[in-house]
């Protein structure tokens, strides 16, 4: 549910934490968002399921189980951590700020939310001194995405970096910078903890 830049940030921080020096880990960390480039529903690439209460969630356990034989591969590992990060983001940000709002207030809040993503790109890139690194696309067999679209996703991320200064000085409307930092860093901590148990 976070932006491309947020997921790139989480992947970079996690790579340092786990001492993984592999561009495939970073690419896997943004890969689920290729659904936009594929013109496919997010629910497919993000393993979205519905619980007994009717709530949608990214089933990262389902991904882990399905691709268990590949979980030592940095790409699959990055993909797995993306799904975990999305669950944390949805629970702590989206559900608390937007999900339960009545219409048309909800639609207006969603528009503010996505504008804030744009504003946050430059703020996050500067805060973490992020630099876009080259990522090589290789053949990946994940049923839920088509790896041939990954170059488009990388191009979109490169554009986010190129345009990072366009909106970073604008005030956030619905998100709070410190809150976003806390969720990103919590995602890194929780993913690292899961990695140590594996």
- 187, pLDDT greater than 90: yes
> How confident is the model at residue 188, as a pLDDT?
97
Q: What is the mean pLDDT of residues 47-61?
A: 86
Q: How confident is the model at residue 51 (pLDDT cuts 50, 70, 90)?
A: confident
Find out whether 124 and 5 touch, Cβ atoms under 8 Å: yes
Distance, in Å, from the CA atom of 25 to the CA atom of 149, rounded to the nearest integer, reads: 17
> How confident is the model at residue 18, as a pLDDT?
96
In this predicted model, which residue has the larger pLDDT, 170 or 50? 170
What the block records as the tokens of 131 is: 């630099």
Q: Which residue has the tokens 């804030």?
A: 116
Q: How confident is the model at residue 197 (pLDDT cuts 50, 70, 90)?
A: confident
> How confident is the model at residue 134, as a pLDDT?
95
Q: How confident is the model at residue 55 (pLDDT cuts 50, 70, 90)?
A: confident
Look up the domain containing 24 and give its range. 4-197
- 2, pLDDT greater than 90: no
Distance, in Å, from the CA atom of 31 to the CA atom of 7, rounded to the nearest integer, reads: 9
Q: What is the mean pLDDT of residues 114-133?
A: 97
- 198, pLDDT greater than 70: no
- 104, pLDDT greater than 70: yes
Tally the residues of the chain. Answer: 198
> How many structural domains comprise the chain?
1
Mean pLDDT of the chain: 95
| Cβ partners under 8 Å of residue 108, min gap 6 | none
Please report, rounded to a whole number, the percentage of residues in the chain having pLDDT higher than 90.
91
pTM of the model: 0.95
């Amino acid at each position: 549910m976070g932006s491309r830049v947020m997921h790139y940030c989480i992947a970079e921080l996690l790579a340092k934490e786990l001492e993984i020096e592999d561009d495939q880990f970073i690419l896997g960390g943004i890969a689920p968002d290729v659904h936009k480039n594929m013109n496919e529903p997010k629910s497919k690439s993000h393993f979205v399921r519905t619980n007994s209460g009717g709530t949608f969630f990214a089933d990262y356990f389902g991904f882990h189980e399905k691709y268990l034989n590949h979980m030592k591969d940095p790409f699959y590992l990055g993909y797995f951590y993306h799904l975990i990060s999305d669950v944390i983001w949805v629970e702590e940000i989206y559900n608390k700020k937007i999900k339960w709002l009545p219409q048309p207030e909800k639609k207006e809040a969603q528009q503010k939310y996505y504008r804030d993503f744009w504003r946050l790109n430059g703020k996050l890139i500067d805060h973490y001194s992020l630099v876009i690194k080259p990522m090589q696309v290789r053949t990946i067999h994940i049923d839920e995405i088509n790896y041939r679209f990954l170059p488009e996703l990388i191009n979109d991320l490169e554009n986010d970096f190129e345009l990072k200064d366009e909106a970073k000085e604008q005030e956030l409307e619905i998100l709070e910078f410190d809150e976003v930092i806390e969720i990103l860093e919590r995602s890194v901590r929780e993913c690292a903890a899961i990695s140590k148990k594996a």
